[in-house]
A = this chain, B = another copy of it.
Amino acid sequence: MPHRKKSNINITPVQLAPEFQFALSVDCVIFGYDRGVLKVLLIESDLPSFKGQWSLLGDLMHPDENLDQASHRILRERTGLKDMFLEQVKTFSSIDRHPAGRVITTAYFALVNVRDYQLKKLDHNLHWHVVSDIQSLAFDHKEILDQSLEALRKKIQEGPIIFNLLEKKFSMRDLQNVFEQILGVSMDRRNFRKKIFSTGLLKDEEEMEKQVNHRPGKLYSFNYETYEQLKKKSSSDFRF
Contacts and interface: CB of A to CB of B under 8 A. Distances in A.
A102 B90 CA distance: 20
A20 B23 contact: yes
Interface in A65-91: 65-68, 88, 90-91
A66 B63 CA distance: 22
Given A22-B23, A93-B106, 20 more contacts: A14-B17, A14-B20, A18-B62, A20-B21, A20-B23, A21-B63, A22-B22, A22-B24, A22-B63, A61-B93, A63-B102, A64-B95, A65-B95, A66-B93, A66-B95, A67-B93, A67-B104, A68-B93, A88-B90, A91-B91
A20 B22 CA distance: 6
Given A14-B17, A88-B90, A104 B24 contact: yes
Contacts of A18: 62-63
Q: 5 tightest CB-CB pairs across the interface, nearest first?
A: A66-B93, A67-B93, A91-B91, A18-B63, A21-B63
A11 interface: yes
A231 to B, nearest CB: 16
Contacts of A61: 22, 93
A18 B11 CA distance: 12
Interface residues of A, number: 30
Q: What is the copy number of this chain in the assembly?
A: 2
Contacts of A67: 91, 93, 104
Nearest to A12: B17
Secondary structure type dominating chain A contacts: loop
A94 interface: yes
A89 to B, nearest CB: 9
A16 interface: yes
A166 B96 CA distance: 37
Contacts of A12: 17
Interface in A13-60: 14, 16-24, 60
Contacts of A64: 95
10 contacts: A22-B23, A22-B61, A22-B63, A24-B24, A24-B104, A65-B95, A66-B93, A66-B95, A88-B90, A93-B106
B20 A16 contact: yes
Interface string A93-113: 111000000101010000000
